[in-house]
Amino acid sequence: MNYFIGVDVGTTSTKAVLYDQNATVLDQFSQGYSLYRDASGMAEQNPTAIVEAVEKVIHDAAQKADLTNGKLLAVSFSSANQSVIMLDKNFNPLSRVITWADTRARDVANELKNSPAGQQIYAKTGTPIHPMSPLTKIMWLNKTQADKVAQTAYFGDIKSYLFHQFFNTFKVDVSIASCTGMMNVNTCDWDDQALELANVDRSQLPEIVNGTTQAIGLTAAAQAKMGIPADTPFVYGAFDGALSNLGVGAIKQNTVAITIGTSAGVRVVTDHPVIDPQQRLFCYAVDKGLWVIGGPLNNGGDVYQWAVEHLVDASAVKNENIDPYTLANRVIEGVPAGAHGLLFHPFLGGERAPLWDANARGSFFGLSHIHTRADMLRSVMEGICMNIATVFQAVRDLVGNPASVTATGGFARAEVWRQMLADVLNCPVNIPNSFESGCLGAITMAMKSLGMIENYEIIKTLIGDISSYQPNQEAVNVYQNYLPLFQQVEGLLTPAYSTIAKLQQQSIH
């Protein structure tokens, strides 16, 4: 038997999935690490901890495989996008990894977004102007950490840093590069205007390569820690959102992929770049000839976690000896669609799509004496779905009506979430029974890299069984009244977000 290992480098953990040569899951392994946050909006990782985590999960997966009688065909990578790490001339870190979740560049981003240059950059790069963009992060570093920037020989991301640690090569896949706000979507090369804004020379950035590009020749140190042959091909892959589309077979313009994990995403694949005139959506590369259009949302499962922690009856959890999420889902099923006239805007962590406003904040609207904690719980879940629906509408405006939606993520394990999403979107929702779509997408890129497949159509045969959910017309009728109100109130509150965010900052300090 021969093997693939798909590696997903995430925000708080790295996961490796071991597959056989037919893409059947054999086992999976995970290693966690800290995300360092504070009230300023900082969200950073320790790069050494991530290197060690990647080495460990690959080692653990390799130990499970029978490499005496079989061969490890390739290791392929998925990772979060929009990270920045400053490196000296020897590629030693001068900073921690500044992650996608870091919002300290919000003032720089707001200034750029409202300028003619910001509009030009979006039109050329397809990256919305936002503090999570590496372009605005580097502009912010120039203003706030000029001494450290002066020592910086290279600006990398977590994946290019990992590959340099393992192979002494400084390259980045086109997918990750296209998320930086510095890659021109028409040339797939670094954009001169963006580099000028960032005060960065192209020699300081990694070489852009296709996602199917292989790195071969592990360093002795990396090979020893991973316990795999030094000539094992490592395939660059793509960013996690793009690979989630591949991994669920959503590779045609008529299928939208939605992921709801800690955060969320709505994406559709096209064969050419599509730029949104209203700047609501991103346009990122997946691989040569494939582009993903969509919107990332900050607020997904983490908002539901907050609601469960604060709104679920702790005594009931204890008395029934039940998981609080199981209890919350059961409670929500007992509340009708619309939560008795209660809306919730889930912007607890600022918001990317559709607002692109790091100052956005959450709110209940319509709260009255009649409402219970059960109503509030359902309203939170509905608010997450309505926010997704707003981005879904923007995608639909740009590329047309999809035939179906394929959804994955932690939420997909709960029936109430699945049906609610179909009802709010008023569209059939398909749930693959295999949940590791990012790693599956990564190994299909490895298959293409090795010449085992010509295109990604084979993924549809690898996914396995799916569960389908049709919209419930009674609930659809309710949500078609509530969704426009949700969006109207969102628009009315938007001008006040910066003020409340400043007041919150003052109260913390």
What local confidence, expressed as pLDDT, does residue 411 receive? 82
Mean pLDDT computed over every residue of the chain: 95
Domain count, the chain: 1
The domain that holds 26 is classified in CATH as: 3.30.420.40
Q: What is the pLDDT of residues 21-43, one digit of tens each?
A: 999 999 999 999 999 999 899 99
On whether the pTM is more than 0.95, the answer is no
Q: What is the pLDDT of residues 98-140, one digit of tens each?
A: 999 999 999 999 999 989 999 999 999 999 999 999 999 999 9
What local confidence, expressed as pLDDT, does residue 410 receive? 81
Evaluate whether 242 touches 438 at the Cβ level (below 8 Å). no
Residue 258 lies in a domain: no
Residue 255: pLDDT over 70: yes
| Cα separation, 413 vs 325, whole angstroms | 11
| Cα separation, 33 vs 14, whole angstroms | 8
Evaluate whether 224 touches 264 at the Cβ level (below 8 Å). no
Confidence of residue 242 (pLDDT cuts 50, 70, 90): very high
What local confidence, expressed as pLDDT, does residue 437 receive? 80
Residue 351 lies in a domain: no
Q: List C-alpha distances in Å: 509 to 104, 348, 398, 484.
A: 16, 19, 43, 37
What local confidence, expressed as pLDDT, does residue 435 receive? 60
- For the segment 270-277, the average pLDDT, to the nearest whole number, is 94
E-state strands within 394-455: 404-408, 429-432
| Cα separation, 30 vs 16, whole angstroms | 6
Phi, psi of 245 (to 5 degrees): -65, -50
Evaluate whether 486 touches 345 at the Cβ level (below 8 Å). yes
**Which residue range is the domain that position 145 belongs to?**
3-232
Contacts of 464 (CB under 8 A, 6+ apart): 432, 433, 434
Residue 464: pLDDT over 80: no
Residue 184 lies in a domain: yes
Residue 155 lies in a domain: yes
Residue 14 lies in a domain: yes
Q: Which two tokens stand for residue 479?
A: 């949500």
User: pLDDT above 90 covers what percent of the chain?
Assistant: 88
Residue 376 lies in a domain: no
- For the segment 44-63, the average pLDDT, to the nearest whole number, is 99
Higher confidence at residue 331 or residue 248?
A: 331
Residue 167 lies in a domain: yes
- What single string gives the DSSP state of each residue in 338-370? TTTT-EEE--BTBB-TTT-BTT---EEES--TT
- For the segment 308-327, the average pLDDT, to the nearest whole number, is 95
- Report CA 386 to chain centroid distance, whole Å: 19
Q: Which two tokens stand for residue 324?
A: 């609080």
Residue 457: pLDDT over 90: no
What local confidence, expressed as pLDDT, does residue 333 receive? 98
Q: List C-alpha distances in Å: 454 to 92, 380, 477.
A: 38, 44, 44
Q: Which two tokens stand for residue 404?
A: 């179906």
What local confidence, expressed as pLDDT, does residue 434 receive? 67
Residue 397 lies in a domain: no
What local confidence, expressed as pLDDT, does residue 496 receive? 98
| Cα separation, 391 vs 117, whole angstroms | 25
Residue 424: pLDDT over 80: yes
Residue 294: pLDDT over 80: yes
Residue 302: pLDDT over 80: yes
Of 156-160, 262-266, 489-493, the poorest mean pLDDT is in 262-266
Evaluate whether 292 touches 267 at the Cβ level (below 8 Å). yes
Confidence of residue 404 (pLDDT cuts 50, 70, 90): confident
